[in-house]
Amino acid sequence: MILEFIIAFIIAYLIGAIPFAIIIGKTFYGIDVRKHGSGNAGATNTIRVLGLNAGLPVLILDALKGFLAVKIAYIFYLRGILTGESYINLEIILGFAAIIGHVLPIYIGFKGGKGISTLLGIGLTIFTFPALIGLGIFMVIFILTRYVSLGSIITAISFPAISIFLFNMGYPSQVIFSVSVAILVPITHTKNIIRLFKGEESKIDIFAKKKIPIDKR
């Protein structure tokens, strides 16, 4: 049984590690997004470099990675091996595996994105209503400021309060996951926070016609 859990974790990691930003950028545009913009292999940088037509599919596919990784746990549920809290625990563990895969993808030298889109897919699967509220918070902040990073950070920090106190999600694994999101997302956005304080963070106009930038901050 332990071997099956390990295999499930590895599969979730490998799903999370699929670099859709690189695949779409190179296949349809002949561009490696890691060489432009922020250098991250994620949806935000894809939008920054190639525009919404490229970035939106990346966002959806990266979110789908989180969904599929979490749903591996359903195999154990159907077999009657896990139910209730133990089932949720495995979902969260597999979600973490997908995020690790996205941030440290084995396919492209362990340099990926920041995992926000994949985290969204995980959140919508396990924490559906808190994640929807968080998405609303993100959209409001993004519309007002045009800063994806600021929206991501504030949403992450507010996530534990929304999931634990507003929706009473109190299983230990749910609490740990929620708090981890609030801690890890700001950490992965340290450079963005510094640029925000300096007034140097790039804003994103999702409807602007994109040209490949020479800036590689």
- Percent pLDDT > 90 in the chain is 88
| Torsion over CA: 6, 90, 85, 153 (sign) | positive
Q: When comparing pLDDT for 61 and 214, which is higher? A: 61
Report the predicted TM-score, pTM, of the whole model to 2 decimal places: 0.91
pLDDT in tens, 124-181: 999 999 999 999 999 999 999 999 999 999 999 999 999 999 999 989 999 999 999 9
CA geometry: angle 123, 46, 217, nearest 5 deg: 105
CA end-to-end span of the chain: 46
Q: Taking the domains of the chain in order of start, what are their residue ranges?
A: 1-115, 127-205
pLDDT of residue 58: 98
Nearest to 176 by CA among 74, 65, 106, 95: 95
pLDDT of residue 209: 63
Question: What value does the mean pLDDT take over residues 99-115?
Answer: 95
- 200: buried, middle or exposed (CB in 10 Å: 19+, 13-18, 0-12)? exposed
Q: Are 126 and 92 in contact (CB under 8 A)?
A: yes
pLDDT of residue 198: 95
Rounded CA-CA distance 186/193 in Å is 8
- Percent pLDDT > 70 in the chain is 95
pLDDT of residue 143: 95
pLDDT of residue 212: 57
pLDDT of residue 217: 38
The per-residue pLDDT of the chain, averaged, comes to 93
Rounded CA-CA distance 8/77 in Å is 13
Q: Are 201 and 192 in contact (CB under 8 A)?
A: yes
pLDDT in tens, 198-216: 999 989 887 766 555 444 3
Rounded CA-CA distance 73/18 in Å is 19
Rounded CA-CA distance 32/133 in Å is 33
Which tokens go with 177?
A: 């996951």
pLDDT of residue 9: 98
Rounded CA-CA distance 181/196 in Å is 20
Report CA-CA distances (Å) from 210 to 31, 37, 41, 215. Answer: 13, 11, 17, 13
The set of residues, in sequence order, having a beta carbon less than 8 Å from that of 34 and lying 6+ positions away, is 22, 40, 41, 111
Report CA-CA distances (Å) from 194 to 13, 178, 210. Answer: 30, 24, 25
